[in-house]
C-alpha cells in the first residue's frame, strides 16, 4: 500500500481566520477614521462679511501702511531705500505699520481746537437738519440764513444760542412760531466754533466776504451776563434790520 501523502498546510486554518478577522477590524477602523475626518469641522468662529464690511477692513488695513504707492493694477510699490530706512528705524516687525498718533487732546478753551461740526451735530442737527436747511414751517434754515443774521449783528447769533428764542419770526418768507431752547451750558469756545462752522459750512461766510471775522472766545464771553429770556432775544431780533 503506497504511502498516502500527508496534507500539510503552510498556514494553519486558525491563522487564516485570525488574519481575516484582523483585516476586517482594521478596515472598519480605517473607515471610522475617514468618517471622523470628513465629519469633523475645523474649530473657530466664522463670520460672513458683506462687500462693504470687506472694503472697510481693507481700507483699515491700508490706512496702517505707510510709504506705499498704489499701482493701477491693485499692487503696491515701495521705494527700496525708504523700505530699508523704515526697517532700520523701527525693526522688521513694525517697519510698515503707521505710527500711532501722538497728538495731544484738543484744548477745550481754544476755538480752533473745538470741532464746531461736532457741536452742531450734537446740539442743532436734530431740528435744523444735517444740511442746515431746517424743516419749513417748523425749524428755520440755518444754511443761507446765518449769514444775514451775522450781517445784521454778529452778537445776535451768540445771544440766540445762549438765551434761546421764542415767538413769531419770518425767515425767507416763511413764518415760524416756535421755541428754541437756550444752550448756556455750551462753553465759549464751543459756541464760537459752532457759529463759525454754521457760517463756513454752507457758503454764508463766502457771501459775507471780508465782513466775516470768525468768532473768538471773547465774542461769546461778552454776551454771558445779559440775563435774557428767549422773549428778550425776540425783542432784540425786532431791532435788527433783516430783509
Q: What are the residues binding ligand HEC (CB under 6 A)?
A: 123-124, 126-128, 139-140, 142, 145-146, 149, 160-161, 165-167, 169, 171, 176-180, 183, 194, 198, 237
Distance CA(145)–CA(155), nearest Å, equals 15
* Rama region for 167: left / alpha / beta (φ>0; ψ in -120 to 50; rest): left
Residue among 180 and 220 whose Cβ is closer to ligand HEC: 180
Distance CA(196)–CA(90), nearest Å, equals 41
Distance CA(205)–CA(144), nearest Å, equals 9
Residue among 86 and 180 whose Cβ is closer to ligand HEC: 180
Of the candidates 140, 138, 181, the one whose C-alpha atom is nearest the C-alpha of residue 161 is: 181
226: burial class by Cβ within 10 Å (0-12, 13-18, 19+)?
Answer: middle
Residue among 87 and 242 whose Cβ is closer to ligand HEC: 242
The nearest distance, CB 118 to ligand HEC, in angstroms, is 12
The nearest distance, CB 240 to ligand HEC, in angstroms, is 8
The nearest distance, CB 219 to ligand HEC, in angstroms, is 15
Of the candidates 207, 222, 85, 110, the one whose C-alpha atom is nearest the C-alpha of residue 157 is: 222
Residue among 183 and 221 whose Cβ is closer to ligand HEC: 183
Residue among 86 and 120 whose Cβ is closer to ligand HEC: 120
> Could you identify the residue written with the cell 466776504?
209
Residue 186 neighbours by CB distance under 10 Å: 19
The nearest distance, CB 200 to ligand HEC, in angstroms, is 13
Residue 176 neighbours by CB distance under 10 Å: 18
Residue among 96 and 115 whose Cβ is closer to ligand HEC: 115
The nearest distance, CB 128 to ligand HEC, in angstroms, is 5
The nearest distance, CB 225 to ligand HEC, in angstroms, is 20
The residue at minimum Cβ distance from ligand HEC is 124
Amino acid at each position: 500500500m503506497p504511502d498516502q501523502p500527508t496534507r500539510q498546510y503552510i498556514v494553519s486554518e486558525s491563522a487564516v481566520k485570525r488574519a481575516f478577522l484582523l483585516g476586517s477590524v482594521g478596515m472598519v477602523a480605517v473607515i471610522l477614521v475617514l468618517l471622523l475626518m470628513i465629519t469633523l469641522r475645523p474649530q473657530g468662529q466664522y463670520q460672513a462679511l458683506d462687500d462693504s464690511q470687506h472694503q472697510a477692513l481693507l481700507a483699515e488695513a491700508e490706512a496702517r501702511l505707510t510709504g506705499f504707492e498704489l499701482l493701477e493694477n491693485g499692487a503696491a510699490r515701495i521705494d527700496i531705500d525708504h523700505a530699508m530706512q523704515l526697517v532700520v528705524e523701527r525693526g522688521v516687525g513694525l517697519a510698515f505699520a503707521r505710527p500711532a498718533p501722538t497728538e495731544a487732546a484738543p484744548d477745550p478753551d481754544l476755538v480752533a481746537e473745538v470741532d464746531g461740526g461736532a457741536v452742531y451735530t450734537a446740539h442743532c442737527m436734530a431740528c435744523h437738519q444735517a444740511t442746515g436747511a431746517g424743516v419749513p414751517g417748523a425749524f428755520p434754515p440755518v444754511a443761507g440764513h446765518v449769514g444775514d443774521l451775522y450781517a445784521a449783528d454778529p452778537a445776535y447769533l451768540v445771544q440766540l444760542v445762549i438765551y434761546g428764542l421764542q415767538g413769531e419770526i419770518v425767515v425767507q418768507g416763511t413764518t415760524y412760531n416756535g421755541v428754541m431752547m437756550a444752550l448756556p451750558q455750551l462753553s465759549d469756545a464751543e459756541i464760537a466754533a459752532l457759529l463759525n462752522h454754521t457760517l463756513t459750512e454752507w457758503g454764508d461766510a463766502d457771501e459775507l466776504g471780508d465782513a466775516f471775522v470768525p468768532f473768538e472766545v471773547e465774542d461769546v464771553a461778552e454776551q454771558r451776563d445779559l440775563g435774557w429770556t428767549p422773549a428778550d432775544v425776540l425783542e432784540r431780533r425786532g431791532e435788527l434790520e433783516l430783509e
